[in-house]
Amino acid sequence: MIFWKRTLPLTITCVMGVLGALQYYVPDPRSEAFLTGMAEWGRIIGGFAMILGVASLCHVHWGKIRRRAAGWGYSAVMYASMLVTVAVGLAAGGLRGPLVEAGTRFEWIYMYGMVALQGTMFSILAFFVASAAYRAFRARTAEATVLLVAATVVMLGRVPLGELILPPFRALGGWVSFPGIGPLSDWILNVLNAAARRAILIGISVGVIATSLKIIFGIERGYLGGGRD
Amino acid sequence: MAWAQRLLRIDRRVIFLLVAVLTLTFVLRPVGLAIRVSPEVRSIYDYIEKLPAGSVFLLSMDFDPASKPELAPMAVALLRHAFARKLRVMVMTLWVTGTGLAEEIVTSAAREAGKRSGVDYVFLGYTPGTVNVIINMGQDLAKTFPKDYYGKPIDSLPMMRGIKSLRDVQYMISLGAGSPGVEAWYVYGKEKYAFELGGGVTAVSAAGLYPLLQTGQINGLMGGLRGGAEYETLLGRRGVATAGMDAQSATHALIIALILVGNLGYLASRRRGQG
């Protein structure tokens, strides 16, 4: 059993990982064909992963309903919504024609159900951001004060109202000048923010390379899952 | 110092009500504040403006309905511009939940410009595989999308004449709400197949893409509703993004006022504690 559950997956991972990395440096038609083949396989596996995702979703929510766990009613709503959507989708043409065909009941569910609900969920963010900013943005330390000032400048500089009330000006024969809240906000985003983001990006990239090497050489085996051999 | 405590204990329902009232007021009655165009949005506009008629422009709407308010206005503005410039427009999405939305946007923009599907533009729709789709499109577009969204073979469409892969695309913009989005198109697309790339993202994601902008990995960036409003300003055609900016101005002003009130209360109560 250890061969099927550990040796074979580790060998496939190692071989494909090394080939995938080498492919990038080999400008040969066979190398390109390999990349195309791998990408096609990735898409096929991606399609099956969707089925796996739906199966996993059903499994988790069915368990909640069966156990009458907290919030099991929401799981029932999930089941009802999914079954109705699938039934209406199949009745509206199923796998033939466009994914969301105009004028069908499935399009109605999509436009007036999914689009409206997802839009509502996202718009709630504005209310929570306002409430959270009021409670959390406090000048408790020097670092928090810097963050507070930067956030205020960016928030004002990214909207027309801010640029209206704080426009650029020069005074005292040019000794005192202010670029305007908009350009000041752009400077924070382009210089301070970009420098910090770049450092984070480099850190993440190095981490990804290290993790990839650990997976390729079988040091990191978390993806194999637990259980007995 | 009871007033300081009161400043620290504003009921969240009051805050929610203020946000709702301000947003509704300015959405229903926009005042039309002037919008300054940033260099990163202008560079996208300028690039499309300089493309010769007949150039291939690919727009990937990599978002779902949750990001519609921020990203759909950008898509509408970009399509209006591309159609006006007589570009050959390909539209697609890497997000399955965004397919119907993308179709609605491109169809209405094309109808408005008098453009025909398959002749002036093509809607490829969605195919599973996320970044693998980009790699396959770089090798063979017709193999990745054998048919357009409406089931017509890609090879039979007049618009697709001479377009074999991503190497034939002159300009590509990804409007991304997450992953896969702009970064995926850079890593797996532009970097390998050498087309120019621009990006449009939600306001919360915009800050993370500035390093790509400075290095030239993307040639322009539209961030949030503001990005769409700036593009509408450049087109000289006000749309929903411009109208929404007044509401966003008011909400930002409210948040700043709330932060000031909270800090005033905090500093006053701290001084009292020290005394």
Distance from CA of A161 to the nearest CA of B (A): 5
Closest B-chain CA to A27: B192
Q: Which residues on chain A are in Cβ contact (under 8 Å) with B100?
A: 99-100, 107, 110-111, 115
- Which candidate in B105, B225, B259 is best for mutational testing of the A interface (most A CBs within 10 A)? B259
Interatomic CA distance for residues B146 and B88, integer angstroms: 18
How far is C-alpha A63 from the chain's CA centre? 27
Closest A-chain CA to B247: A159
Tokens 């060998």 map to which residue? A11
- Which candidate in A16, A26, A34, A43 is best for mutational testing of the B interface (most B CBs within 10 A)? A43
Domain boundaries, chain B: 2-30+250-274, 39-238
pLDDT in 10s for each residue of chain A, 229 residues: 788 888 999 999 999 999 988 988 888 888 888 988 998 898 898 888 889 999 999 999 999 999 999 999 999 999 999 999 999 988 887 777 777 777 888 889 999 999 999 989 988 988 999 999 999 999 999 999 999 999 999 999 999 999 999 999 888 888 888 999 999 999 999 899 999 999 999 999 999 999 999 999 999 988 887 655 5
Tokens 């924070």 map to which residue? A188
pLDDT digits over B20-40, tens only? 999 999 999 888 899 999 999
Is A158's CB within 8 Å of B252's CB?
yes
Closest A-chain CA to B270: A140
Is A159's CB within 8 Å of B252's CB?
yes
CATH architecture of the region B39-238: 3-Layer(aba) Sandwich (3.40)
A163 Cβ under 8 Å from any chain B Cβ: yes
Closest B-chain CA to A95: B151
Enter the tokens of residue A23. Answer: 């492919």
| Amino acid letter, A203 | G
Write the DSSP assignment of B27-93 as a string of letters.
Answer: HHS------PPPHHHHHHHHHHHHSPTT-EEEEEEE--GGGHHHHHHHHHHHHHHHHHTT-EEEEEE
Closest B-chain CA to A50: B128
Residue B274: per-residue pLDDT: 61
Q: Which of A39, A100, A135 sits opposite B136 (nearest CB)?
A: A39
Distance from CA of B133 to the nearest CA of A (A): 7
pTM of the predicted model, to two decimals?
0.90
Residue A9: per-residue pLDDT: 92
A93 Cβ under 8 Å from any chain B Cβ: no
- Confirm if B241 and B228 have CB atoms less than 8 A apart: yes
Residue A227: per-residue pLDDT: 56
ω into residue B180 within 30 of 0, thus cis?
Answer: yes
Q: Which of B99, B125, B255 sits opposite A129 (nearest CB)?
A: B255
A82 Cβ under 8 Å from any chain B Cβ: no
DSSP secondary structure letter of residue A4: I
A7 Cβ under 8 Å from any chain B Cβ: no
Write the DSSP assignment of chain A as a string of letters.
Answer: -HIIIIIHHHHHHHHHHHHHHHHTT--SHHHHHHHHHHHHHHHHHHHHHHHHHHHHHHHHHHHHHHHT-TTHHHHHHHHHHHHHHHHHHHHTTTTSS-SS-TTSHHHHHIIIIIHHHHHHHHHHHHHHHHHHHHHH----SHHHHHHHHHHHHHHHHTSHHHHHHS--EEEGGGTEEE--HHHHHHHIIIIIIHHHHHHHHHHHHHHHHHHHHHHHTTS--GGG-SS--
Residue A172: per-residue pLDDT: 83
Q: Which residues on chain B are in Cβ contact (under 8 Å) with A123?
A: 69
pLDDT digits over B96-146, tens only? 999 999 999 999 999 999 999 999 999 999 998 889 999 999 989 999 999
How far is C-alpha A168 from the chain's CA centre? 38
Q: Which residues on chain A are in Cβ contact (under 8 Å) with B126?
A: 99
- Please identify every stretch of chain B with a pLDDT value under 50, giving residue numbers as ranges: none
- Which candidate in B36, B42, B222, B226 is best for mutational testing of the A interface (most A CBs within 10 A)? B36
Is B99's CB within 8 Å of A100's CB?
yes
Q: Which residues on chain A are in Cβ contact (under 8 Å) with B15?
A: 127, 130-131, 134
A95 Cβ under 8 Å from any chain B Cβ: no
Is A130's CB within 8 Å of B250's CB?
no
- Chain A, 168 to 187: residues with Cβ < 8 Å from chain B are 182, 186
Residue A197: per-residue pLDDT: 92
